[in-house]
Amino acid sequence: MNTIIPIVIILLLSVIVSHFFNKTGIPAVLGVIILGIILGPGVTNTVHQTHILDVFSEIGVILLMFIAGIESDLKLLKKYFKPSILVAILGVVVPISTVFIFDYFYGFPIKENLFISIVFAATSVSISVEVLKSLNYLSGAAGTTILGAAVADDIIAIFLLSVMTGTLKGNLKLKDSILMIIIWIIFFIFAYFLIKKIIPYINHISTKLIASNSESIIAISLCFSVAILATFVKLDAVLGAFIAGIAYSEVTNNKQINKSIQTIGYSMFIPIFFVSIGLNISFSTIGKDIFLILSLTVIGVLTKLVGAGIGSRISGFSFDTSYIVGAGMISRGEMALIIAQSGFAAGLMSKEYYSAIILAVVLTTLIAPLILKHSILRKIQKK
């Protein structure tokens, strides 16, 4: 029963917090993350990150990105493919170079400096998806570009982390990097057949089955299967879930499946995911590292906003749309946290600065939905 009590606390309080934040016009996702900070070791220490919360949190982000895929428009993703790539590249180059320069003058060793730069190059679109969904902006030009750019951004960040880890451990060879790229190409070719042939066919079969909720059960099973396949080829699970979602966006019963998945996800797993981000926060080193934390937070916000925004502007979008795209790429969320944890475990970052980096990542993630909402409302008010 002790494992169930924290779940009950999180779910009930997340509903109450979401109500009041929605009532005041502040993105509810921000309130749920703050709730996690309050419940965690940073403030009251009433809820601890456990294995079951980790599992539920992972399921939550997978379902969230699956929903984002279902609500996407494949034709728009193809249309805005080139802008997405440009946004992703500048959204990686600008943060990496700026953070590297700052860390160099701050006095970080070169190895740790490079790794921290990669952490802040990552984008976690799951937070942005929630804000875009709440304002009905997910399927437009800006939302589609953000989703496409985030996928490319994650691939670049994971590749850089893999190269850096292998290089510093002395076990990465050129053929390993080439093999990794070839495997990824094969994965995306397979993803194309998933979207066009395999998943639509399996979904058609599921509609013929005489079993309760057969379509939703098979949809979730396929979502998890593609997520697992993505991790198997050293990509992120959320990428696999998003691809599965895109496949389901093309089926005739996508609205019915989307409604079922949203009910499952938002009833338990997705709130736990957002609360878990806050549970990672500890203020034990905030006193001595306050300048570093605030500096990296400001740099983290501005470099994505400017870098991705410039990429969007060069692609021909208006200033207002570019502002939305840049704002949508700010959030680092679970993607940066995963990279930070992986690098810390590999010895790429010292324990001395680990908490400060994590806190800066979370602060950046907290600020992101506010800027994104402002950018969207600013454009709506101009119409």
pLDDT digits 0-9 by tens, 58-92: 899 899 889 988 887 778 888 888 999 999 999 99
**Does the structure show a pLDDT above 90 at 323?**
yes
Asked whether residue 26 carries a pLDDT value surpassing 60, the answer given is yes
What whole-number percentage of the chain has pLDDT above 70? 94
Helix axes 333-345, 141-169, angle to 10 degrees: 0
pLDDT of 11 higher than 90: yes
For the residues 192-215, what does the mean pLDDT come to? 90
Which residue bears the tokens 């590999």? 346
At residue 171, the pLDDT reads 56
The 8-class DSSP code of residue 265 comes to I
Tell whether the model's pLDDT for residue 160 goes beyond 60.
yes
For position 381, what pLDDT does the model report?
A: 83
User: In the predicted model, is pLDDT for residue 169 greater than 60?
Assistant: no
Per-residue pLDDT, averaged over 13-20, amounts to 94
- Does the pLDDT value for residue 172 go beyond 70? no
Question: Do 163 and 60 touch, CB atoms closer than 8 A?
Answer: no
- Mean per-residue pLDDT for 124-136? 82
| Burial bucket for residue 379 (CB in 10 Å: 0-12, 13-18, 19+) | middle
Least confident segment among 56-60, 178-182, 315-319:
178-182
Mean confidence (pLDDT) of the chain: 86
For the cut 70, the answer to whether the pLDDT of residue 1 exceeds it is no
Q: Is 212 left (phi over 0), alpha (psi -120 to 50) or beta?
A: beta
Q: How many domains does the chain have?
A: 1
CATH number at residue 32: 1.20.1530.20
Mean pLDDT of 250-266: 91
- The answer on pLDDT for 258 being more than 60 is yes
pLDDT exceeds cutoff 70 at 128:
yes
Q: Residues with Cβ < 8 Å from 268, sequence gap 6 or more? A: 7, 11, 56, 60
């990465």: which residue's tokens?
Answer: 172
Distance CA(162)–CA(176), nearest Å, equals 10
Residue 269 has pLDDT above 70, yes or no: yes
**Distances 168 to 172, 347, 348 between C-alpha atoms, Å:** 8, 10, 9
pLDDT-wise least confident of 175-184, 255-264, 327-336, 346-355: 346-355
The answer to which of 159-168, 251-260, 288-297 has the lowest mean pLDDT is 159-168
Residue 374's contacts (CB-CB under 8 Å, 6 or more residues apart) are 327
Over range 316-327, report the average pLDDT: 94
Residue ranges making up the domain that contains 307: 4-382
